Amino acid sequence: MYEKGPISARLAYNWRSKYLVTAVDCCVYLPVWQKASGFLDGSIRYRVNNAIEVSVEASNLLNTKTRLLTQITDAESPEGKIILTPNGYFQNDRRFIFGVRWKMESVDAPPPPPPMLPPPPPATQTCPDGSVVAATSVCPALPPPAAPPPPPEAVPERGS
């Protein structure tokens, strides 16, 4: 992968080893396998400007052929080994794609205004009696001091 400035390029090679296509063929009742194969793909892109990009993409640059093999014997057969014979050949074509991308210019909306802050709480003051009132109010007058309790009655002394 390569990217620098307005140009980007990519090459990818994908390999698949031999794998089982079907466990039981219709005719010999033995498996069908696909031989290992590899595919090379690539692309080149050129960004003309922020709105336009041109590209060329290619698939299967190696023109890989896919081959199927039919298993005609197994390990318990008289031959004592697995024998595979050609079943089918597939020619996967090369594909080239030419493209142009166009990004429509969008006009960015101005950002929304910041949220409104709640009004500050009113100024307050704490009065000598512990009550809280607005700073512009007058503290309530203190209640007059309570009258002192009456003196205890004189208790006569003993023996008098």
pLDDT tens for each residue of the chain, 160 residues long: 899 999 999 999 999 999 999 888 787 788 999 999 999 999 999 999 988 999 999 999 999 999 999 888 888 888 888 888 888 888 888 999 999 999 887 677 788 899 999 998 888 888 888 888 888 888 888 777 888 888 888 777 776 5
Instruction: Please tell me the distance from the alpha carbon of residue 103 to that of residue 120, in angstroms, as a whole number.
Output: 48
pLDDT at residue 63 in the model: 92
Q: What's the total number of domains in the chain?
A: 1
pLDDT at residue 160 in the model: 58
Report residue 76 as tokens.
């318990």
Q: Which domain holds residue 57?
A: 2-102
Chain centre to alpha carbon of residue 145:
73
Instruction: Please tell me the distance from the alpha carbon of residue 5 to that of residue 47, in angstroms, as a whole number.
Output: 8
* 136 is a domain residue: no
* 108 is a domain residue: no
* 128 is a domain residue: no
Quick one: residue 107, left, alpha or beta (phi over 0 = left, psi -120 to 50 = alpha)? beta
Q: With CA atoms as reference, report the closest residue to 121 among 132, 107, 105, 106.
A: 132
Instruction: Please tell me the distance from the alpha carbon of residue 133 to that of residue 10, in angstroms, as a whole number.
Output: 75
Q: Where are the alpha helices (DSSP H) in 51-133?
A: none
* 110 is a domain residue: no
* 66 is a domain residue: yes
Contact 37, 10 (CB under 8 A): no
* 137 is a domain residue: no
pTM, full prediction: 0.55
